[in-house]
Every structure is written in C-alpha cells, then in structure tokens.
A and B are shown apart, each in its own frame.
Chain A
C-alpha cells in the first residue's frame, strides 16, 4: 500500500515536470499568436509609424533622472517615438553592453567613453554619415568633436560633452599649510616639491597628491611628444623607455613623501568622487576631468580651484576631449530616429539646461553660451579653466588622442603596474618591462 502511494507520488511528480517541459515548448506558440496580433496592430498604425527606441547609459541616480527628463522632452516633441531608458552603474555597464551586443539585443542608442575605438573596429556602430544635414544637425557642433567621432571615415560617435583635464587643488589645505597656491605654467619638479611640502607642513595623514602615474600617463607622454596610441599608423605611440621615465618620476616622488600610499589609494580611489580624499581635506592635489569639478565642490566646504597641468618639454599636453558620447547600434531598425535623437540631445537648448555640464561642457557653441550665462560659482571656475586651456592650445596645439584597442584590459594592466610598484612587489624596472610587453600583447590581440 505504502509502495503504491509512493509510485503515485512519483508519477505525479513526473507529470508536473513533463507538463512544465511541454509547457516550455508550448508557450512560444501561445505567445506567437499574441505577437501576430500585435504585429497586425503595428501594421494598422503603420501610417504614424510608432517607433520604440532603447537608450542605455551609465552613471548615478542624478544622471539617470536628468537623462530621463531629457528623453521625455524628446518624446513630447516626436510623439511617434517611444523611448525606453536603461542605465547601469559604470562598473557593470560595459559588460552588460558587450553581452547585449553579442546576443544581438543591444539598445538602439548607447553611450560610450574612451573605449569607442574598441567598438568602432568591431563594426557594431551605426554609420551616421548619411544622416548628417538631414536628421542630424551638426552645424553648431565643434569640428574637433565631429572629427573625434569619425573613425575609419565613418561618423560613429556624437560627443555629448567635452572637458579638459586639469589639476584640482584644495586651496584651503594650501592656506592651512601656508604654501602659495600653484599657478599655470609650473613644472613636474615643482609639483613633486610642493607635494612633499604639504605633507611636511600638515603632518602624517595628509598628502600633497594622489598617485597620477596611471590617470596622467597619456598626458605625460604627450608632453614629451609621444602618445599612447598612434591611430594614424595603427601602432603604439610610445616606447618602454618613455613609460619607464614616467613611472620612475612617480616612484621617486612617492619615496620622497607627499604621495598617497597605495593602500589608501585603493580604498579611496581618486575617480570615486564620494570617497575622494580631496573632499575630506586629506589630499591637496589630484587630476580630474573638468566636468567632475562641480561634483567635488558640492561635497566639501573647502575651497577648490583648478590649475593647468605641470608642463613637460612640449607644454601641458591637455586638449579638449570628449568625455563620452552617443553611438547607434549598427543593427538598429530605426536609424533615422536614432539620428534625430542624437541631434536633439546635443542641440536642444532645453535639454542643455536640464543636463547642464553633467557629461561635460556642451559641444555646441550656442548651448555653451546659454549655460555660461547662468553658471554657478563652481561652474564659473570650470569655464575660467577651460577658457585658459583653449588659449593654451592655440599656441601649443595637441592632437586629440584615442585610447588603444583593448582599453579595458590595458587600463587594468596599467593600474596593476602602479600598485605593484606602490606595494613594493616589483622594482620600477621590472614592473615597467612587464607593463610594456603586456601592453604590446594586448594591443596585438585586439587588432581586427
């Protein structure tokens, strides 16, 4: 009897499982019929051409809110387009995007940063060239930014904001230490000396500068007439000796004192505004993109200012760069609407007012003038800084540079190199030689 009930139980279980399995094969049929009715509906409304666009970006809640606000505005202006916004924190964003691209389900429009080359060479970005002058209005956009988005003679990237990197300075710390605030035109020896002075004057726990060996490396190379990636020739733009010189400078400066130790830089990385030691008044100098200045100032009572980078042989090496921008998915079904959206995003004055300089200074002259008119105190410091940079680039021009292909892996390698030296795991020579051979390997591996 007991055995019988057991058998009934097993049979029942099998039924459930089997029906679940057959339900799995059955349900697509069911949903198919649902789809066809949807399709019919779409056909019926073909005349107004109802279109849905997916847009994806990275960033915090504040950026998500204002971006959604701007996209709502677009929907209002183009009622036939419905926008579905998606966002992810910057850490997981590109993994998510890569997975979607691999499975052919990428959004119609997505944001890319310094890694745009990686996607351009894989032919997954929509060529916007046919839409320029039609749906896509670039007449007011800076030519350098249009050039930046043109890769292999195809326009694949529309910058959504420009910035210039510079040294952020916690002026209050300099005042407390009784050291004069540095001025544009200084050099790297002075930078090292001032860093040490800050630590000497303010005592332990206070540092002159973050270790900029990775964040500032491309600028450091440009100051000496080299670059990370020579796109025109498709090669790396520097030699091992160039990297060695740069890492040696930071090693020497660290050993002299005045640089944030590796352990502290790991837990409070300079790129994470909320944890930055600039905010807490522990570090006096760091390197930031100018669009991050307002976010820093909003988190601290200390007075912050921006100064140009210390000079190398060829100048400061700083130019206006695209902080990030929009690209379309090559397989999008609605390329025209994609172009419309991008055009709206960079040109519309109301969008500019909503987004302000969250992704950098607007890329069109009219929107820049618009925002400049109603700039906050922090914004004014940024505008003052960026105008000094424009003036400097008139006499000392530098080409806009790109990150090498395999950027994610490369930047991890560069960071590891800095920490290997910082934690004393390897000598500078060993670390840099491994860094250079690793860089060459990554570079070759990512050529298409």
Chain B
C-alpha cells in the first residue's frame, strides 16, 4: 500500500516535470544566462557602448537614497497594481458568472469576451484608447450630452493613470475564461442543497461559489499581480513614451527601459530590474503564504 502510494507520488511528480519541461529548457537555455549577466551589470556603470566599469553596490545605493523618479515610479506602479488587479478580477468573475447562467451559444460569447485580452497588450488598442479618452474623444463627447465638461483624460497627470487602469480592466478575458472553467467545476447539487435549506442567491455566492473558486482565484491573483507589475505597453503608448506628462505614466518598467536604452545607464537599469524581481517575488510569496488560510482545495489528496 505504502509502496504503491510512493510510486504514484513519483509518477505524479514526473508528469508535472514533463509538462514543466518546455519551460525548464527555455529557462536554462535562454533566460538564465542574460539574468546572471544583468546581475553582474547591476554592479557596474555601463553605458552600452563602452566596457562596463565595476562600481560595487553604488547603483543600489543611489536608487534607494538619491532617486526621486525611482520612488515615484514605484508608487505609481503599486497604485496601478492595487487598483487594476482587484477590479479586473472582480469584473472577470462577474462576466464569467453571467455567462455561466446557461445561455445559448456560450462558445461565441466566451470568444467575444476573450478578444480584448488577445488585443489588449497591443499597441493598436492603446492608440484606440488614446482616441477614446482624448480631450475631444468619445468619453468627453458622451459626458458632453449631460453638460459635463470632462478633462483631457490622457494629458492631465492626475487622470492619465486611470485611463491606463481602465484599459487593464478591459483585458479581463483570460481571467474570465479561467473563472468560467472553475465555475463549471462546482457541483450543481451543492446549490440545490443550499436552495432546499433556504439559502438566498447572495448567501450561496459567498458560501459556495467563492470558497469553491478559491484555487482559481488564487491562480488568477498571482498571474495578474505578476503581469501588472510588468505593464509597459499601455504606459508607453498612452503616455508620451517618456513617462510624461509629469511622470504620470512613468511605470517602473518604463523607467527601467528609459534608463537602459535612452539614457545610456544599462548598469543602473539592471539594478532596477533586480529590485523589481525581488518586489514581484516578495508579493508572490506573500500571496502563497497566505493562501493556506483562504484557498480551499476540495479535491486535495490528503483531504485538507
């Protein structure tokens, strides 16, 4: 009995590694070398065109003690992540639940709602967003019908970040598809039993749907956090490509990019990249550590 369990375990692991193999090969063949290279560069002053000069930790010291743009871009990125991730997930769940009501032609709707995610990262959509939220764009014309004179959403430093957040929420598709799959997995008899016991819609949502979905929410949350920290294209295209106006679109990745490729400070940019890696890693670790308190695996092997 013990032995079979062990072999099963081993087989389980092997299967997992089999599926991980493409990623592992990519990581060791392609990613690892440049990553270690950038770790070295982060300890040098490197202007891209002459040989790197060893400066020790001086880049890191400058970043933490004497770089206002770093602090600003970090806060801006946090703001973006903490607003866009919950909103996007909530929106995705909402749409997934609406689609899960057993409507006809579900496949078509699912595809249509997924399209923005396919397009969302692209430059073309960001340009469309520019037009929609321009001073004389669609949104302000719509507001104009009600006599409201909207600001120019994409050129005022106070508002432009919300334009970018709205674009991110609109890309709810991939999270939605995963939620939809998760919803389909919840056994219908749970709801029937709840109905018999007299539970209302809200109660069955909070007592059945949410707990049963937690593994899926967990997955979506981790993926969304990682993706949002790395957001680049929307800020680059909707802003002026240089973080403007007034650094209101100076996302962390954009700052890193500009330091490295426009300002000839690749060493400094590498240090920024490693700090970003630690931050994203830290947040992911926090989510993972807290997961045992709120993620419920109904099909877990050891029956937790």
0/1 interface trace, chain A 106-139, chain B, CB 8 Å (1 if under): 0000000000001000111000000000000000
Return A63 CB to nearest CB of chain B, in Å: 19
Contact call A98/B48, Cβ cutoff below 8 A: yes
Contact call A10/B263, Cβ cutoff below 8 A: no
0/1 interface trace, chain B 9-30, chain A, CB 8 Å (1 if under): 0010011001101100100010
Contact call A101/B11, Cβ cutoff below 8 A: no
Between A and B, 10 residue pairs with Cβ closer than 8 Å are A10-B14, A10-B18, A14-B18, A21-B29, A99-B48, A124-B49, A266-B244, A267-B152, A412-B244, A415-B244
B154's partner among A13, A98, A267, A269 (CB-CB below 8 A) is A267
Contact call A3/B151, Cβ cutoff below 8 A: no
Q: Which of B135-170 contact A (CB under 8 A)?
A: 135, 151-152, 154-157
Return A156 CB to nearest CB of chain B, in Å: 14
Taking A98-B261, A412-B242 as known contacts, 19 extra A-B pairs with beta carbons closer than 8 A to each other, sorted by chain A number, are A3-B11, A6-B15, A14-B18, A24-B29, A92-B241, A95-B262, A98-B48, A98-B262, A99-B261, A262-B245, A263-B135, A264-B155, A266-B244, A267-B135, A412-B244, A416-B244, A423-B246, A445-B265, A448-B50
Q: Which residues does chain B contribute within 8 Å of A446, judged by CB atoms? A: 264
Q: Which residues does chain B contribute within 8 Å of A409, judged by CB atoms? A: 262-263
A13's partner among B21, B240, B241 (CB-CB below 8 A) is B21
A267 and B244 contact, Cβ closer than 8 Å, known pairs A14-B18, A408-B263? no
B49's partner among A91, A101, A262, A425 (CB-CB below 8 A) is A101
CA distance A99 to B47 in the complex (A): 11
Q: Which of the four size classes fits the interface of chain B?
A: 35 or more
Contact call A267/B155, Cβ cutoff below 8 A: yes
CA distance A102 to B37 in the complex (A): 14
Q: How many residues of A contact B (CB 8 A)?
A: 40
Q: Which of A220-235 contact B (CB under 8 A)?
A: none
A122 and B50 contact, Cβ closer than 8 Å, known pairs A13-B21, A17-B22? yes
Contact call B15/A95, Cβ cutoff below 8 A: no
Asked if A383 is at the interface of the complex by the 8 Å CB criterion, the answer is no
**In the A-B complex, the 4 residue pairs with the closest CB atoms:** A266-B155, A267-B155, A10-B18, A102-B48
Return B5 CB to nearest CB of chain A, in Å: 15
0/1 interface trace, chain A 20-58, chain B, CB 8 Å (1 if under): 110010000000000000000000000000000000000
Asked if A385 is at the interface of the complex by the 8 Å CB criterion, the answer is no
0/1 interface trace, chain A 264-276, chain B, CB 8 Å (1 if under): 1011010000000
CA distance A303 to B265 in the complex (A): 46
Q: Which residues does chain B contribute within 8 Å of A95, judged by CB atoms? A: 257, 261-262
Return A51 CB to nearest CB of chain B, in Å: 25
0/1 interface trace, chain B 43-65, chain A, CB 8 Å (1 if under): 00001111000000000000000
CA distance A445 to B243 in the complex (A): 21
Q: Which residue of A lies closest to B21 (CB)?
A: A17
Q: Which residue of A lies closest to B15 (CB)?
A: A10
A408 and B262 contact, Cβ closer than 8 Å, known pairs A122-B49, A263-B151, A266-B244? yes
CA distance A195 to B194 in the complex (A): 73
Q: Which residue of A lies closest to B151 (CB)?
A: A263
CA distance A123 to B261 in the complex (A): 17
CA distance A266 to B47 in the complex (A): 30
Q: Which residues does chain A contribute within 8 Å of B265, judged by CB atoms? A: 445
Contact call B21/A412, Cβ cutoff below 8 A: no
Q: Which residues does chain B contribute within 8 Å of A6, judged by CB atoms? A: 15
Q: Which residues does chain B contribute within 8 Å of A24, judged by CB atoms? A: 29
Asked if B126 is at the interface of the complex by the 8 Å CB criterion, the answer is no
Asked if A420 is at the interface of the complex by the 8 Å CB criterion, the answer is yes
Return A404 CB to nearest CB of chain B, in Å: 13
CA distance A29 to B157 in the complex (A): 53
B266's partner among A13, A20, A102 (CB-CB below 8 A) is A102
